[in-house]
Amino acid sequence: MELRQLLYFVTVVEEAGFTRAAERLHLAQPGLSSQIRRLERELGQSLLDRSGRSVTPTEVGRALLPHARAALAAAEGVRQVADEFGGLLRGRITVGVLSGVAAHEFDLAAVLAAFHEEHPRIEVALTEGSSDRMLAALQEGELDIALVGPAQEDPVPGVSFQVLVDEPLVAAVAPDHPLAGGTEAAGAGGGTGAAAGAGGLPLEALRGLPVISLPRGTGTRGVLERACARAGFRPRVVFEAADPRFLAQLAGRGLGVAVVPRPAESVTAGSGLLVLPFAAPVPRARIVLAWRTAGPTGPAAAALLARLRTGLATGPA
């Protein structure tokens, strides 16, 4: 029995057919079929049911499948350890990225490019998603590393954080909005309306007003909802969008109060909106680098995590 035969068997099962499996493995289909038949003869069992429109594992094949995958994973682990000690890391890393994270001051693309130049044999797979989903994927082992905006201050069980961005939330309103209090808009980065006062806008001022916010599942939305719950009400969110600039445009049309992270200059430039800071305790939005507390599952992920922790560090560790 050879490892490549187990790989061929697993691939045929995953692709439900010999043609697609051969394409994935870059093999000729007759050669692939021949290797599978050799494996079946050696084991004395039929592993695949070829009678239907798609190829499926037999009862014996289903029982053998997890062992085949474990053998392949063990062999890959041996290669990774050998490569690590030889200075030649390789493997595949899955990284979750919060939508819009590229707009922040740290340069994720530059860090990944430098890592790829140093470790060209490591494949990094990026995926975007909401913070809630990515934190759950981290806990379940579906992601190795993630950049997320958590709603809670403390890390979730089994996950560690390094804070990269920590910004206060602000309210952005049109000049004629009641919260503007008759004060003219101060433009991007604006001043404080009369409704806000010297100490900032009380969060309770949002009670009953139409609010424009990032979608559910994002850290900013979670922070807003938790802060409002502590103040004894639920925000009346009438519009939600993933792009803070679009939120500002909606607010500029008088459709509600946009609640966005500061620096507000990035979302209010040229809009004429009035930016109102909140009174203490000020709700804050964060972007954090997150990983499983037990550590990455392989040396490749550990190497990338170390690079990200130093390359993206703009906040406290």
Query: Digits of tens for pLDDT over the chain (317 positions)?
Result: 889 999 999 999 999 999 999 999 999 999 999 999 999 999 999 999 999 889 999 999 999 999 999 999 898 888 877 776 666 677 889 999 987 665 556 788 889 999 999 889 889 999 988 888 899 999 888 899 999 888 777 778 889 999 988 889 999 999 988 888 744 434 434 444 445 555 789 999 999 999 999 888 777 888 899 999 999 999 999 999 888 788 888 998 889 999 988 765 555 556 678 889 999 999 998 889 999 998 877 788 999 999 999 988 754 43
CA 1 to chain centre: 40
Instruction: Delimit the CATH 3.40.190.10 region(s) of the chain.
Output: 95-165+287-311, 166-285
The Cα 223–Cα 212 span in angstroms is: 14
- Report which of 143, 176, 177 is spatially closest to residue 159, judged by C-alpha positions: 143
In the block, which residue shows the tokens 């503007």? 180
Crossing angle of helices 59-86 and 299-311, rounded to 10°: 50
* CATH superfamily entry for domain 166-285: Periplasmic binding protein-like II (3.40.190.10)
Strands (E), the chain: 48-49, 56-57, 91-98, 122-129, 145-148, 159-173, 210-213, 236-240, 257-261, 274-277, 284-292
Please state whether beta strands 210-213 and 257-261 pair in parallel, antiparallel, or not at all (unpaired): parallel
pLDDT of residue 295: 81
Q: 74-81: long-range contacts at Cβ-Cβ below 8 A with a sequence spacing of 24 or more?
A: 75/3, 77/298, 80/298, 80/299, 80/300, 81/299
Crossing angle of helices 131-139 and 219-230, rounded to 10°: 100
The answer to whether the CB of 24 falls within 8 A of the CB of 15 is yes
The length of the chain in residues reads 317
Q: Biggest alpha carbon distance in the chain?
A: 86
pTM (predicted TM-score): 0.61
pLDDT of residue 244: 78
Strand partners, 284: 168
The answer to whether the CB of 138 falls within 8 A of the CB of 290 is yes
Question: What is the phi/psi pair of residue 115, to 5°?
Answer: -65, -40
Structure tokens, 262: 């500061």
The answer to whether the CB of 54 falls within 8 A of the CB of 87 is no
CATH label, 3-86, candidates 1.20.1250.20, 3.10.20.30, 1.10.10.10, 3.90.1200.10? 1.10.10.10
pLDDT of residue 317: 39
Instruction: Delimit the CATH 1.10.10.10 region(s) of the chain.
Output: 3-86
We find that the CATH architecture of domain 95-165+287-311 is 3-Layer(aba) Sandwich (3.40)
